[in-house]
A and B are shown apart, each in its own frame.
Chain A
Amino acid sequence: MKLATYRKKSPWILHYNAGGCNGCDIEILACLAPKYDIERFGMINTGNPKQSDILLVTGPVTKRSRERLVEIYAQMPEPKVVVACGACASTGGVFRGMYNCEGGVDQFIPVDVYVCGCGTRPEQIIDGVVQALAILEQKNKDMEASVRLNTQPIAEDEQLNRRHVAASITPTPTV
Chain B
Amino acid sequence: MSHTFIAIILIILAPFLGGLVYGLERVIRARMQRRIGPPVLQPFYDFLKLADKRRMVVHSAHAFLGIMHFVSLWYALGVFLLGGDLILVIFLHLLYTALIILAGYSTRSIFSHLGANRTALSIIAYEPVLILIAVSMYMITGSFEASAAFHHPQPLLYKMPLAFVALLLVLPIKLKKSPFDVAEAHQEVTGGVELEFSGIYYEAVYTAKWLDYIFSYTLVYLFAGSNILLGIGLMLFTFIYLNALDNATARVNYKQMLRFSLGVSFSLAFINLLINSLS
Q: Which residues of chain B (169-213) have a CB below 8 Å from chain A?
A: 186-187, 190-191, 194-199, 202
In the complex, the answer to whether A78 meets B53 with C-beta atoms within 8 Å is yes
Across the A-B interface, the 6 shortest Cβ-Cβ residue pairs = A50-B198, A6-B48, A9-B45, A10-B45, A78-B54, A10-B49
Distance (whole angstroms) from the CB of B130 to the closest CB of chain A? 30
Which of chain A's residues have a CB closer than 8 A to the CB of B194?
51
Which of chain B's residues have a CB closer than 8 A to the CB of A34?
33-35
Q: Which residues of chain B (14-36) have a CB below 8 Å from chain A?
A: 26, 30, 33-36
Q: Which of A35-43, A88-96, A98-106, A121-129 is the interface stretch?
A: A35-43
- B residues contacting the other copy or chain, number (CB 8 A): 32
In the complex, the answer to whether B49 meets A50 with C-beta atoms within 8 Å is no
Instruction: Give 1 or 0 for each of A131-146: 1 = CB within 8 Å of chain B CB.
Output: 0000000000001000
Q: How far is the CA of A50 from the CA of B196 in the complex (A)?
A: 7
Distance (whole angstroms) from the CB of A8 to the closest CB of chain B? 9
Q: How far is the CA of A47 from the CA of B111 in the complex (A)?
A: 12
Distance (whole angstroms) from the CB of A123 to the closest CB of chain B? 16
Would you call A22 an interface residue if the criterion is a C-beta within 8 Å of the partner chain's C-beta atoms?
no
Q: Which residues of chain A (2-24) have a CB below 8 Å from chain B?
A: 3-4, 6-7, 9-10, 12
What are 17 residue pairs bridging A and B, where the CB atoms are less than 8 Å apart in the complex? Answer: A3-B48, A6-B48, A7-B49, A7-B52, A10-B49, A34-B35, A37-B36, A40-B35, A40-B37, A42-B39, A42-B46, A47-B191, A48-B190, A51-B50, A77-B198, A78-B53, A79-B54
Would you call B56 an interface residue if the criterion is a C-beta within 8 Å of the partner chain's C-beta atoms?
yes
Would you call A25 an interface residue if the criterion is a C-beta within 8 Å of the partner chain's C-beta atoms?
no
In the complex, the answer to whether A42 meets B54 with C-beta atoms within 8 Å is no
Which of chain A's residues have a CB closer than 8 A to the CB of B39?
9, 42
Q: How far is the CA of A143 from the CA of B199 in the complex (A)?
A: 15
Distance (whole angstroms) from the CB of B233 to the closest CB of chain A? 30
Would you call B123 an interface residue if the criterion is a C-beta within 8 Å of the partner chain's C-beta atoms?
no
Instruction: Give 1 or 0 for each of A45-62: 1 = CB within 8 Å of chain B CB.
Output: 011101101000000000
Q: Which residues of chain B (47-70) have a CB below 8 Å from chain A?
A: 48-56
Which of chain B's residues have a CB closer than 8 A to the CB of A79?
53-54
Q: How far is the CA of A17 from the CA of B226 in the complex (A)?
A: 56
Which of chain A's residues have a CB closer than 8 A to the CB of B37?
37, 39-40
- A51 in contact with B198 given A7-B49, A10-B49, A42-B42 (CB within 8 Å): yes
Distance (whole angstroms) from the CB of B80 to the closest CB of chain A? 29
Instruction: Give 1 or 0 for each of B233-276: 1 = CB within 8 Å of chain A CB.
Output: 00000000000000000000000000000000000000000000
A42 is contacted by which of B45, B51, B187, B197 (Cβ under 8 Å)?
B45
In the complex, the answer to whether B51 meets A3 with C-beta atoms within 8 Å is yes
- A51 in contact with B197 given A7-B49, A39-B35, A77-B55 (CB within 8 Å): yes
Q: How far is the CA of A50 from the CA of B33 in the complex (A)?
A: 28
In the complex, the answer to whether A10 meets B46 with C-beta atoms within 8 Å is yes
In the complex, the answer to whether A47 meets B48 with C-beta atoms within 8 Å is no
Which of chain A's residues have a CB closer than 8 A to the CB of B54?
77-79, 143
Q: How far is the CA of A37 from the CA of B195 in the complex (A)?
A: 24
